[in-house]
A and B are shown apart, each in its own frame.
Chain A
């Protein structure tokens, strides 16, 4: 519990934090007043339910309990299934490297159900397909029943296209946005009372890091934001990746809000962090969970050369995504106050700084209360591995 506010106060603040954050004023003034909420950190060595469930349960209790957040509510959980399901880092299971681990999803679903969630929807835009998410995860050797059966009223939805909705939902960025003023997304992101970003702790080739905020880059349906998106209207089926967002080579389907300034930088290191902040503004995160019981170092997926499997044995969770990601960066051995030119942001802007400037939350660890395991005790030094890779670029993989 944050020492400067009561349980009731911070729950109320949590519910209001995002709309309240979009105050007028300069980035500096917004940053200074950006919300700071407690972030829970825990060590967790395995994905065994016997360790994972109590660990997550304790973390959620440390954050004030899930019940007040989700009781009677529809909860949408954005998981991370980046890249095609046929990729593995070496022989490692995707959940052990670049995907949110299925046991973490099942444990979270279970705890959400136990806390009274009325309906729990597991969401993702899987790579270049409109296949049902249950069918997609078979190809990762997951058993979807493990997740569907972890609580009552659990559903999957592939959000990479129109899905089960009749139309796309328009979510606007309250501040007007850096790159996009708003997005047309699958209905699932509007039709939930509580939105959870359940991410993997990783570095990212374009954005430096990928944590709870960057996970939301995958909210965008490829039918509108993919390389095969329709020009005037969304394509029926999704195809390709989100090159258009990375490179700005083209605009989304004309039916969706266009970029604010098509003459702005086309550099992915400029565009991706800003787009992420726009997305997190448009679709606020109520609960950020970043897991790295096992993960990978060096990038976001097996296609990144020099990356390697790692076992940090840590989970971070918080009610503010910027605060949570800042703590994650600390756990990873990076300075969350770093910006372009400093690891891990050597070639990109800091998503955290941009989010802080937008008033979404502070990245200043001095302002964030860490509950549970102190950062130094939970640290898994991705930064040191990054330096080592820099010095020996051919190592990695495995």
Chain B
């Protein structure tokens, strides 16, 4: 319990039959909130998650390749964002215990940052070796624990960041449930891997502002949209947006366009375009990658070099005067010489990393309608805070 003093860790969750009565009592005396993990407190949703990072091969000796051709990355980011859309105002926590034979200190940083960058929290859970090392007061284990606590404190101190809004190019419209669970949820997962900044749009909760700032929406649900939703989407298209959908959309409006695509028929409507898949989209990676090209990489909000296995989430303050680009590097070893281009007319940048109290110097090159940052050596996470 002494290790928790001075940290932002204020809850202890336990399994019902874990036989931890003495520990629970100590926790209560130390001022911690205590609950069964199956019964989270009001206002908190605990999601089962994946231990984030580059997925190791089944037999070791490297990383498995994903559909992106780069190492497969497990992340909880999209799950948190989906749950946030479903439960506005709730605290979204992820239960994803360490997995694998070798858990590095860096992988704990990844777990914390992967959740926190998306506005959630990772429920701290230690692997057996680390827990034993801490119990035995081993120096390396205590150093890892300190690192965990420091990372948790870093995000806890940035209370305004979770209120920042996603800055997106494409919106994914779906129920993300039932028949649409697999395609919808995997699309959220893989569109991020395709380096697109996306918005989660629940089809029964769309408002007039849901489409703001988007260049495109994807509607790939198994059933055609209801009349009201159809009108909302087509209004977006008529105003200049792009709709990417499948044949289940029904009779498409607008006029055929000259563009040729092996998998899509193009149409125009008002100032916008429609790309209607010739067959039902069933491969979320193909759909994610197709959408990047249909929209055009010209409009990418973030673009990376030398980043390796990357995750990112660009958010803006409600007044749009500040932005935070969360940059996640999922490999255990942080990358060198990373450059990131961030679209927007920013004039000042600070680079925050969990291991430092003050921001780090970052070289910024101002380009037309974008800035490019040349990052110093970083480990698993950095946040670029930008000001207009």
Contacts and interface: CB of A to CB of B under 8 A. Distances in A.
Given A141-B303, A239-B69, A88 B296 contact: no
Interface residues of B, number: 18
Interface string B295-321: 011101001111100000000000000
Interface in A104-163: 128, 131-132, 135, 138-139, 141
| Most chain A CB inside 10 Å of its own CB: which residue of B297, B367, B374 | B297
B216 to A, nearest CB: 15
B306 A86 contact: yes
Contact of B306 (A88, A132, A138, A141): A88
B297 A139 contact: yes
A132 B304 contact: no
B337 interface: yes
B339 interface: yes
A132 B298 CA distance: 12
A91 B69 contact: no
Contacts of A302: 306
Contact of A138 (B296, B339, B363): B296
A139 B367 CA distance: 15
Contacts of B121: none
Contacts, number: 35
Nearest to B296: A135
Contacts of B363: 91
A91 B293 contact: no
B193 interface: no
B303 A87 contact: no
A90 B297 contact: no
Nearest to B310: A86
A138 B304 contact: no
Contacts of B296: 135, 138
A87 B305 contact: yes
Given A91-B337, A91-B374, A86 B297 contact: no
A131 B69 contact: no
A135 B297 contact: yes
Contact of B293 (A87, A135, A141): A135
Interface residues of A, number: 14
B337 A86 contact: no
B341 interface: yes
A86 B293 contact: no
A86 B307 contact: yes
A138 B305 contact: no
A86 B298 contact: no
Interface in B306-358: 306-307, 337, 339, 341
Contact of B339 (A91, A128, A135, A239): A91
Given A138-B298, A139-B303, A141-B303, A90 B337 contact: yes
A66 B112 CA distance: 61
B300 A141 contact: no
B306 A87 contact: yes
Given A91-B374, A138-B298, A132 B293 contact: yes
B293 to A, nearest CB: 6
Nearest to B299: A138
Interface string A251-295: 000000000000000000000000000000000000000000000
A141 B293 CA distance: 16
Interface of A: 86-88, 90-91, 128, 131-132, 135, 138-139, 141, 239, 302
Nearest 5 Cβ contacts at the A-B interface: A138-B297, A88-B305, A91-B374, A90-B337, A135-B297
Interface of B: 69, 293, 296-298, 300, 303-307, 337, 339, 341, 363, 367, 372, 374
9 contacts: A86-B306, A87-B306, A91-B339, A138-B300, A139-B297, A141-B303, A141-B367, A239-B69, A302-B306
